[in-house]
Structure 1
């Protein structure tokens, strides 16, 4: 059944969040999963090419700069948190195996330097011919990451965001070092470039100092597309200032719509308009040709969870000490050791309101990690997505396959064609760059008008 989008002039932005064997904590135990996916380049190439063939806008890679501080025996039973490629390196390879697909990866502002990040992402954007996005994070694993970089503890929450804003500002300045027409390649005049179109940044801020200029020319997109997640007040303010893609984790269209309206309303103070940002909630799906088949897929993965792993998973997600708790206990009335943030708070509130046991909670969250889950036939899932999109709860979605590659196949073979049939998602992508896919303008060089 075709249902045309009659409330919006635009179409959905749709991406896929790649996580080696998949997002479900038991994903690698599925007999159709690729257990060595984290370090298997061909696995990533095959999955990326499936996404490109389906017409998806981009794929996305998260990153952490530490092995999780979890009891080794439990850590040894999951696949996502220990062994995987550094994503900037991986994207270099995937850019050679794809032609149109957007490629987005994470780099931390807490344990990096602006010059290095500007140099790497500008290079990637050239190599990929304009298909790169940078997901800006402040690193969320805590002290275990800081201790890999000569620190004892991580920066406090608000300081992390203050550093991040200055970091991004510095990176964007470095990316403008060269004007677009700086390179002359004029052999007769012996002029490789126009020296008037090369600029030093001389950034001298509270946290960072960088002279510039960058030794990589301005890239096809000008700047990589800036992505960000974060639902705290500091996160929303940072998104309003810089972000062009925002990942969210709301469970209902109403709560997502409130976030959508709030963040986009903050953009005006920074001289930005709402159409300069795409808000994309994470979405795990269990799709089948029938409801029963979809339910069976979800229940099968849940049956693979080791209860001890499930309890530790909930302890990690909530920051609550579950020492001495059994899977059939309710979430205890203990304080979280993690700073307040949207996903964590939503999980705790939901568990206590519904009086869920720890087992019920980990079975619900195991594939979605606190974000929404949609279940059913392609038509039923598309109905839900259309409701979110049409009512301005989002500008599209980022799918989180529960296991790879099988769940990805359901997304590209069942769900995406249904969205295209309804006119909600384009059958052919716009343009060749990631900015063009997302309907975003190429930013002007800050120095161009002066010269």
Structure 2
């Protein structure tokens, strides 16, 4: 094996928007404001990311309708249901992964299990689920009596039970349960179809899933929590972790903690892939890149930019230094990363909002081909991440810049694949296929 083959390769995910980048529709380049239900646009985006050999797409989603006076600014008031959109994309792509968000607080285990198993079969093994614990008004649409809580431990306890239920359902069929024997007329070996016995105080499930085991065994499990509870949960259960870090030092701490949690859970830490969010704006020159940054950030009314941080500042003056205390409204880990970046760079609340609004609260990376590639390489080689969840503030135009300029440079340096390694998302990530729990029988 050559030194280039031995060199660690970057993993890359491409964010594909369903409305979170709520102000880009105002960009003057769009003669008609961007349509969040233009399926052909999303298919083109996916095909472009696949042509650049990205590991996966990532679709953030939530069940809650935007509330308050700022909702009038948001394109997220109308967006596709993720499994439906990704089923359309699956039919027009061959290799790229399809990972989407479904909250344990806004869904039921049986529905999530069947949707993801179906998508895994439709895509021939490319589905993934971003497991989040957010609790919001979306629960009201289910008629589920969930109490609003900020008790992180309670939310992760729910997430563990939900995930266990879903994975148990995926294992309903053993891999060889479907005989489809024309001569005998036997379609299924019922001895290899298992009836779950789930009654854990939250979920009661006693029937097998109505779809055979997914191609990947279990679709890829992604998470984004970096609180102590989130690290323990992700380290023990996830294949992918998305995180927000603004400095290599913070990235190294998160990387070490997550890999350590995986090892403590008896897993191979190399089977846990850590991706750091980064909002990339490319320019032929530094000046062009900064101009593009100002162009896109100027689209954000300041109140929307502040709201997009998902941090509560109370009555603090927007032009005052970032406060020592604040209220995280979405992710404790992401809020802490933003706070650390703001304090290190002596930024006011207004300045951090203007800079970070374009990237969903992730680190902005603005520069040229060389400076962007250098940055990604330094993070990888410092063991601050395994790769990046690449956010495109300029949507498909930004992805074109990344695919045209950054990816070839990463490939030239031997840091990124030139061809996909396998057929399924697990194969491309180097993530082992889980064994069916019912196949492991004692003599």
TM above 0.5, yes or no, is yes
In structure 1, distance between residues paired with 2:396 and 2:20:
8
Which segment is superposed worse, 386-395 or 187-196?
187-196
Structure 1 equivalent of residue 297 of structure 2:
302
Structure 1 equivalent of residue 271 of structure 2:
276
Is residue 32 of structure 1 aligned with residue 24 of structure 2?
no
Q: 1:192 to 1:382 in 2, by over 3 A?
A: same
The gaps in structure 1 that reach 5 residues or longer are none
Compute the TM-score of the two structures, normalised by the length of structure 1. Answer: 0.91
In structure 2, distance between residues paired with 1:15 and 1:217:
28
Structure 2 equivalent of residue 372 of structure 1:
363
Match of 2:374 among 379, 383, 389: 383
In structure 2, distance between residues paired with 1:445 and 1:340:
33
Q: 1:421 to 1:285 in 2, by over 3 A?
A: same
In structure 2, distance between residues paired with 1:110 and 1:12:
33
Structure 1 equivalent of residue 311 of structure 2:
318
Structure 2 equivalent of residue 53 of structure 1:
51
In structure 1, distance between residues paired with 2:330 and 2:439:
43
Structure 1 equivalent of residue 167 of structure 2:
172
In structure 1, distance between residues paired with 2:16 and 2:79:
11
In structure 2, distance between residues paired with 1:422 and 1:368:
26
Structure 1 equivalent of residue 92 of structure 2:
97
Quote the offset at 1:329 in angstroms: 4.6
Match of 1:342 among 325, 329, 333: 333
Please state whether the residue corresponding to 1:184 is helix, strand or coil: coil
Q: In the alignment, is the contact (CA less than 8 A) between 1:18 and 1:60 conserved in 2? A: yes
Q: C-alpha offsets along residues 24-64 of structure 1, whole Å, 9 cap, x if unaligned?
A: x5322212357333211011011111111111111010111
Structure 1 equivalent of residue 41 of structure 2:
43
Which segment is superposed worse, 51-60 or 328-337?
328-337
Match of 1:76 among 72, 75, 94: 72
In structure 1, distance between residues paired with 2:335 and 2:344:
14
Q: In the alignment, is the contact (CA less than 8 A) between 1:244 and 1:278 conserved in 2? A: yes
Q: In the alignment, is the contact (CA less than 8 A) between 2:103 and 2:133 conserved in 1? A: yes
Compute the TM-score of the two structures, normalised by the length of structure 2. Answer: 0.92
Structure 2 equivalent of residue 18 of structure 1:
16
In structure 2, distance between residues paired with 1:337 and 1:433:
36
Alignment of 1:122-133 (within 5 A): 122-133=117-128
Structure 1 equivalent of residue 429 of structure 2:
438
Is residue 183 of structure 1 aligned with residue 178 of structure 2?
yes
In structure 2, distance between residues paired with 1:308 and 1:46:
32
Is residue 215 of structure 1 aligned with residue 210 of structure 2?
yes
Q: C-alpha offsets along residues 287-342 of structure 1, whole Å, 9 cap, x if unaligned?
A: 1121111111111112233234334445xx2112348x4x5454567752748812
Aligned residues: 438
The gaps in structure 2 that reach 5 residues or longer are none
Q: In the alignment, is the contact (CA less than 8 A) between 2:178 and 2:189 conserved in 1? A: yes
In structure 2, distance between residues paired with 1:311 and 1:449:
51
Quote the offset at 1:365 in angstroms: 0.9
Structure 2 equivalent of residue 425 of structure 1:
416
Q: 1:7 to 1:346 in 2, by over 3 A?
A: farther
Please state whether the residue corresponding to 1:247 is helix, strand or coil: strand
Match of 2:383 among 383, 392, 399: 392
Please state whether the residue corresponding to 2:395 is helix, strand or coil: coil
Quote the offset at 1:272 in angstroms: 1.0
In structure 1, distance between residues paired with 2:3 and 2:387:
13
Match of 2:401 among 398, 401, 410: 410
Q: 1:149 to 1:190 in 2, by over 3 A?
A: closer
Which segment is superposed worse, 184-193 or 337-346?
337-346
Alignment of 1:248-263 (within 5 A): 248-263=243-258
Q: C-alpha offsets along residues 210-242 of structure 1, whole Å, 9 cap, x if unaligned?
A: 113112111211100000001101111110111
Please state whether the residue corresponding to 1:191 is helix, strand or coil: coil
Q: In the alignment, is the contact (CA less than 8 A) between 1:280 and 1:398 conserved in 2? A: yes
How much is the aligned-residue C-alpha RMSD, in angstroms? 2.4
Quote the offset at 1:364 in angstroms: 1.2
Q: Which one has more relative contact order, counting CA pairs under 8 Å at least 6 apart? A: 1
Q: In the alignment, is the contact (CA less than 8 A) between 2:120 and 2:127 conserved in 1? A: yes
In structure 2, distance between residues paired with 1:330 and 1:68:
28
Quote the offset at 1:14 in angstroms: 0.8
Quote the offset at 1:84 in angstroms: 0.8
In structure 2, distance between residues paired with 1:147 and 1:334:
31
Structure 1 equivalent of residue 114 of structure 2:
119
